[in-house]
Amino acid sequence: MSIGRPSLATPILVLLATGATGAYGCGSEGDVLVSRYAAPLDAPYEAENVTFTTPAGLSLAGTLTLPIGTGPSPGLVMISGSGRQDRDEHIRGVGPGYRPFRQIADTLSRRGIATFRLDDRGVGGSDAGPDSATVFDVADDFRAALAYLRNRPEIDPERLALLGHSEGGVIAPMVAASDTSLAALVLLAGPAYTLQRVNRFQRGKQFERAGTLTPEEIESELDRTDRGAELTALRNPWRGAVWNYDPLPTARTVRVPVLLLQGATDVQISPEQADTLAAAFRDGGNADITLHLFHETNHMFLWDDGQSLEGYRALPSDQVRKDVLGVLADWLVRRVGGLGDEALEAS
């Protein structure tokens, strides 16, 4: 069966308790059932499980949260990381409660911002599509998701934002570069480098954590295995399409406000990539760029001091850090509106 956004175990797998990583190492789920979701009883928003059809003829499923009684609301569409992800971006290898997109949806919807999170192609309620699909095809899925929201009467079509996590941070700028009516862009641990360079970094981290090689020996081993890693990637249409794809030229064409969130202990997307991305956005003439680096925070935006070698399941919490959610919500309220605008303007 075609699954879309395929997953292939990479050396960074050693840092996960279970599961396999995808192209940029965010992680992937195993068999995923259709995720039915109801808003919490105390929530000031409603949740609707919806499907829509893309111009390519694919049926995609997701959950739309709609704040109650606020009129046409601003909205956010979320793009998950590499591998097979359900609409919550649940990754069992991280922890049983790790559902970052559900946490983001709840946080933002309580602040008056509608959210739309989707099952990836071939996951849950979404069609698989062809085996030959690449990130460029999936970018069209999210253009269609934005178009769907613009036709919903509960949504203000002029106040839509896009969020991408990990590999989603490659796809989201592609969409933002071609959508002049988008109001904001958020990247969580978005790559600034080609997959080839990211893959080498991740392999190096594996050797480093094993503790059996000197830095010079690690570099030698990486040089020796580079060609094999490239051949493996190029045999797969998804990874082959981004092996040498440079995200920076696309970033230079994005004109909407951008928020970059990055964890300082991320061993999958090296932290300096956030600075590199920010510089690229600014080099293109975009002056509204905000960057937040969170200390003791990993690729999944969990608390992580970087000392554990036992994987994500050994961490004390599988919940996205509250300060990350707070910065995200405050920034979006300032850019697209929502609840709390007056308080934020006065602060």
Average pLDDT over the chain, rounded to an integer? 89
pLDDT given at position 27: 59
pLDDT given at position 209: 83
Residue 30 has pLDDT above 50, yes or no: no
- The closest of 267, 268, 291 to 279, measured between CA atoms, is 291
How large is the average pLDDT for residues 2-28?
A: 41
Most confident of 7-11, 14-18, 66-70, 169-173: 169-173
* pLDDT category of residue 12 using cuts at 50, 70 and 90: very low
pLDDT given at position 127: 97
Residue 236 has pLDDT above 80, yes or no: yes
User: pLDDT per residue over 253-269, tens digit each?
Assistant: 999 999 999 999 999 99
Most confident of 39-43, 82-86, 150-154: 150-154
Residue 174 has pLDDT above 80, yes or no: yes
Low-confidence winner among 34-43, 65-74, 252-261 (lowest mean pLDDT): 34-43
pLDDT given at position 25: 62
Low-confidence winner among 65-74, 84-93, 287-296, 333-342 (lowest mean pLDDT): 333-342
User: pLDDT per residue over 121-144, tens digit each?
Assistant: 999 999 999 999 999 999 999 999
- The dihedral over CA atoms of 39, 40, 44, 49, expressed in degrees to the nearest 10, equals 0
Say which amino acid occupies 75. Answer: G
* pLDDT category of residue 210 using cuts at 50, 70 and 90: confident
Q: What is the CATH number of domain 11-346?
A: 3.40.50.1820
Residue 312 has pLDDT above 80, yes or no: yes
- The closest of 151, 150, 154, 152 to 179, measured between CA atoms, is 150
pLDDT given at position 344: 42
Domain ranges in the chain are 11-346
pTM: 0.90
Residue 200 has pLDDT above 50, yes or no: yes
Non-local CB neighbours of 263 within 8 Å, separated by 6+ positions: 189, 271, 293, 294, 297, 298, 299, 301, 304
pLDDT given at position 22: 56
Distance in angstroms (rounded) separating the CA atoms of residues 162 and 104: 13
Residue 81 has pLDDT above 50, yes or no: yes
Higher-confidence residue: 259 or 18? Answer: 259
Residue 247 has pLDDT above 60, yes or no: yes
301: left (phi over 0), alpha (psi -120 to 50) or beta: left
Low-confidence winner among 9-18, 29-38, 47-56, 290-299 (lowest mean pLDDT): 9-18
* pLDDT category of residue 9 using cuts at 50, 70 and 90: very low
Distance in angstroms (rounded) separating the CA atoms of residues 255 and 276: 17
pLDDT given at position 11: 33
**Own/partner pairs, 168-172, CB within 8 angstroms, 24+ separation:** 168/26, 168/78, 168/79, 168/80, 168/81, 169/79, 170/24, 170/135, 170/242, 170/245, 170/247, 171/79, 171/135, 171/138, 171/139, 171/142, 172/79, 172/142
Residue 96 has pLDDT above 80, yes or no: yes
